[in-house]
Amino acid sequence: MKFKKTAFTLIEFLVVIVIIGILTIISIKIFSEYFAKAKAAKIATELRIIEKGFKLASIINDQKLYPLENKLGLGLGPYHIKRMVNAGKIKDVPLETNWGEGNYIYDNDGDVFPYYKNCDTCTNNPGGANIIITFDQNRDGNKVPEELDRIFDDNNGLECGKIRVYKSSFSGKTYLFYNLSDNK
């Protein structure tokens, strides 16, 4: 009586491993895009809440513009939104993000940042109030900023519009700016 060989050969086993590896790589790429979209959607919602919180604080304080940092009585910034909430200057807003270095920072000292110099065609004024998120472009990539640009600016690029990205040659950090207003 002859027995049939029922075991897999080494070649068959390696082919199966390669196919599983390829499927894993494809699924990781697809899921990472969904994770970036989910993070961007959450950040977009939080940025809108922060903007509404600042608008409400401006109405309550009978101001037409977003407050300059030195008018808040907290000293010059930029500084974390958490500090403003703790001082009672603004309330009921998200303090931290689930992406980047984690803190939302308010900046409105009336300056114009250097990354605006190439934006002569921009429709919104580069000055005014900004919410800033610091992130590591090497670690986090541009997927979240690009998705935020799609949400807020219809993919007009990360150099122009409500969402802008600036890489500092001085600190080596990358910053995402969400422009709250057009006022300086």
pLDDT in tens, 13-34: 999 999 999 999 999 988 888 8
pLDDT for res 115:
43
* Percent of the chain clearing pLDDT 70 (strictly above): 74
- Give the Cα separation of 105 and 131 in Å (integer): 5
Checking if the pLDDT of 108 tops 90, the result is no
Q: Which residues lie closer than 8 Å to 50 by C-beta, 6 or more apart?
A: 81, 93, 94, 104, 131
Q: Which of 175, 87, 95, 171 is nearest to 135 (CA)?
A: 175
83 half-sphere exposure, CB direction, 13 A CA radius: 15
pLDDT in tens, 56-97: 877 776 776 676 666 665 554 556 677 777 777 677 777 777
- Give the Cα separation of 99 and 34 in Å (integer): 14
pLDDT for res 124:
41
Q: Which of 1-10, 70-79, 96-105, 144-153 shows the lowest mean pLDDT across its residues?
A: 70-79
pLDDT for res 14:
95
| Pairing status of strand 174-179 against strand 79-80 | unpaired
Q: Which of 156, 166, 161 is nearest to 132 (CA)?
A: 166
Q: What is the CA radius of gyration of the chain?
A: 23
Checking if the pLDDT of 111 tops 70, the result is no
Helices (H) and strands (E) in the chain, counts: 4, 5
